[in-house]
Chains A and B, each alone.
Chain A
Amino acid sequence: MDGESWNAGGAGRRAIATPLPSPVLELDGVQVAYGSVPALEGVEGTVAAGEAVALIGPNGAGKSTLIKAVLGLVPLAGGRIRVLGTSPQQARREVAYVPQQDTLDPQFPVSVSQVVLMGRYRQIGWLRRPSAVDRQATADALEQVGLAERARDRFGTLSGGQRQRVLLARAIAAQPRLLLLDEPFNGVDAVSEQALLDAIAGLKQSGSAVVMATHDLALAHLACEEVCLLNRRQFGFGPPQATLTPERLRATYGGHALELRGDRVIVAHA
């Protein structure tokens, strides 16, 4: 985590790990419909190991839908998705999802370390006791998000940003090859934001691919090798420098007023 610096305005650093021969995620003409209503179409792109892609678009653009499709939770109306060379359902063991922390009940009687341990349940199964390996993975994951000292506290006593970090730790504990995050930086304080970025970078270093839906264009610029512009259909897929252009952004967001300030792009929503 230390030693890496993020160049403001520069492209994100490429992952050090050797890329695998085939991409972790392949999207090929992906089409999703709810009944007869099309939700997404024409989504194309690949994500290699150690790379991160940001899904960018307004509310209702289909970012969550695409994530659900990659998880195998919604059927495709057209095209195909390949995760680690197989179908999303078959690749589930290698995929981890990080939801937004505000969907969870803060009163739930569970500790931080128990939440992270949940990430290991697939490995542990229903009946077996958690092994030393499981406990170590849990501890390591908490270490990576910088919350090891809060392990015994009730999950709900943490701040929003801290809870988001715990959910990321839960995903990390599963040691996934593909990580999916849904708006991970929403409502998160600066310290937690940095911790999240550091942990994600660490995952990329060890060869995982990352897909994150986000509103934050600057973070997308900083943390991701590629961005995917979505608003019911794809408006671009490629490196941020090339893809996050005013014209494309205007097209994606439906032609509203736009400003560029240094490396930040301000988009006025309807």
Chain B
Amino acid sequence: MNAAYQLLIEPFRYPFMTRALMELLMLGALAGTVGVLILLRRLAFMTDALTHTVFPGVVIGYLLAGEGGIFAGALVAGMATALLLTALTRHPAVSEDAALAVLLTSFFAVGVVLVSRESGYTADLTAFLFGRILTVTSGQLVQTFAVAGAVLVVLAVLRRPLLVTTFDRIGAQAAGYRVGLLDLVTNGIVALVVVASVRAVGTMLVIALLIVPAATGRVLSDRLPVIAVAAALLGASAGWIGLAVSYDVSLHHGLRLASGATVVLVLIAVYGVALGGGAVWRQLAGRRAAHPGSVHEASVMTGDVGVR
């Protein structure tokens, strides 16, 4: 028990650690929740593209206005991407994969060119790609809280239209839902979360924070509300544990582990446990007996268990 306290509570008597923890808790919960949306709408590739396209925005923002410019620059780039993607994918001749790949690579290349023109760029590049959690300011915390609040409110208000359009796009269109507009809102939300996370965990690791908690939640449950809550809790907990571990290792063992990376490793470990544990749970619980009178196709039975 003492060891657990030492690891999980003790570091946070320092204000800088508490701020880092607050940031990761908020981002973890936010990214976990939005990740469910990404998972269900099959937006993983688009999200990955977004993490690359905000990069030049980050660089330009930093060049123009220093640390404070990163958020604004990423925001502009993120919104531009969301708009471009929504517009491009509505065109029947443009395959979504191709459009994403082109945007992703071109934007990222612009970012790299911009960064490499500066002579002392390595540290900044590392910070953009992998984040800087230890120097999070109270101002940043407020910004993150505002973003998280706004996104959660929008998700709560639009939960039914989002559910319907995600589950049955054609049916939703028929019922008069504005599917195009909801696509734009979704893309915008994802862009906003990527932007909010970039400073703390970096562009390369945001994708993990967005996808893995939701994927783990999906393994653990079939019920959407449970998945969403689980994803939020998992994201937040991974943030906590990852930060605590990287701090402990740095202080007591002299090793330098980037906190963003430890958070991701914790996420992956939990996912692995969930996959393994989920399979065992299902075996132990037994499966629902075939209902008398209804017809089961063989594929339904096998589809209910095993790797998702």
- With a cutoff of 8 Å between Cβ atoms, the chain B residues found around residue A115 in the complex are 167
Say yes or no: B160 contacts A126, CB within 8 Å.
Answer: yes
- With a cutoff of 8 Å between Cβ atoms, the chain B residues found around residue A114 in the complex are 224
Smallest distance from the beta carbon of B125 to chain A beta carbons, Å? 39
- With a cutoff of 8 Å between Cβ atoms, the chain B residues found around residue A154 in the complex are 222
| Residue B168 lies at the interface, judged by CB distance under 8 Å to chain A | yes
Residue of B nearest to A71 (CB): B174
Contacts A109-B221, A159-B295, A192-B295 hold; do A121 and B164 have CB atoms under 8 A apart? yes
- With a cutoff of 8 Å between Cβ atoms, the chain B residues found around residue A126 in the complex are 157-161
Say yes or no: A106 contacts B224, CB within 8 Å.
Answer: no
Mask of B150-185 contacts with A, CB within 8 angstroms, 1/0 = 000000011111011011101101111000000000
Mask of B255-297 contacts with A, CB within 8 angstroms, 1/0 = 0000000000000000000000000000000001001011111
Smallest distance from the beta carbon of B196 to chain A beta carbons, Å? 25
Say yes or no: A104 contacts B167, CB within 8 Å.
Answer: yes
Contacts A99-B171, A122-B175, A126-B161 hold; do A150 and B227 have CB atoms under 8 A apart? no
Contacts A158-B300, A159-B300 hold; do A189 and B227 have CB atoms under 8 A apart? no
| Residue A77 lies at the interface, judged by CB distance under 8 Å to chain B | no
Say yes or no: B294 contacts A162, CB within 8 Å.
Answer: yes
Say yes or no: A109 contacts B300, CB within 8 Å.
Answer: no
Residue of B nearest to A128 (CB): B160
Contacts A99-B174, A104-B168, A121-B160 hold; do A157 and B295 have CB atoms under 8 A apart? no
**In the complex, A77 Cα to B304 Cα: how many Å?**
47
Chain B interface: which size bin? 20 to 34
Say yes or no: B164 contacts A118, CB within 8 Å.
Answer: yes
Smallest distance from the beta carbon of B212 to chain A beta carbons, Å? 17
Smallest distance from the beta carbon of B154 to chain A beta carbons, Å? 11
**In the complex, A156 Cα to B168 Cα: how many Å?**
13
Residue of A nearest to B166 (CB): A108
Say yes or no: B176 contacts A103, CB within 8 Å.
Answer: no
Say yes or no: B164 contacts A189, CB within 8 Å.
Answer: no
Contacts A71-B174, A97-B174 hold; do A118 and B294 have CB atoms under 8 A apart? no
**In the complex, A221 Cα to B227 Cα: how many Å?**
46
| Residue A161 lies at the interface, judged by CB distance under 8 Å to chain B | yes
- Select which of B294, B297, B303 is within 8 A of A150 by beta carbon: B294
Smallest distance from the beta carbon of B101 to chain A beta carbons, Å? 24
- With a cutoff of 8 Å between Cβ atoms, the chain B residues found around residue A192 in the complex are 295
| Residue B308 lies at the interface, judged by CB distance under 8 Å to chain A | yes
Contacts A118-B163, A127-B157 hold; do A103 and B168 have CB atoms under 8 A apart? yes
| Residue A268 lies at the interface, judged by CB distance under 8 Å to chain B | no
Smallest distance from the beta carbon of B278 to chain A beta carbons, Å? 14
Mask of A95-106 contacts with B, CB within 8 angstroms, 1/0 = 011110001111
| Residue B223 lies at the interface, judged by CB distance under 8 Å to chain A | yes
Smallest distance from the beta carbon of A95 to chain B beta carbons, Å? 8
Contacts A97-B175, A118-B163 hold; do A109 and B218 have CB atoms under 8 A apart? yes
Residue of B nearest to A106 (CB): B303
- With a cutoff of 8 Å between Cβ atoms, the chain A residues found around residue B223 in the complex are 109, 111
- With a cutoff of 8 Å between Cβ atoms, the chain B residues found around residue A96 in the complex are 175
**In the complex, A150 Cα to B290 Cα: how many Å?**
11
Contacts A92-B175, A154-B222, A159-B300 hold; do A105 and B295 have CB atoms under 8 A apart? no
18 of the cross-chain contacts (CB-CB < 8 Å) are A97-B175, A98-B171, A99-B171, A103-B170, A108-B40, A110-B163, A118-B163, A118-B168, A121-B164, A121-B175, A126-B159, A126-B161, A127-B157, A150-B291, A154-B222, A156-B303, A158-B300, A160-B297
Listed from nearest, the 8 A-B pairs whose CB atoms lie closest are A97-B174, A92-B176, A109-B224, A154-B222, A189-B295, A71-B174, A99-B170, A109-B222
Residues of A within 8 A of B (CB): 71-73, 89, 92, 96-99, 103-111, 114-115, 118, 121-122, 124, 126-127, 149-150, 153-154, 156-162, 167, 170, 180, 189, 191-192
Given contacts A97-B171, A106-B303, 13 further A-B contacts (CB under 8 A): A71-B173, A97-B174, A105-B167, A110-B163, A110-B224, A114-B224, A126-B157, A126-B158, A156-B303, A157-B288, A159-B300, A162-B295, A189-B295
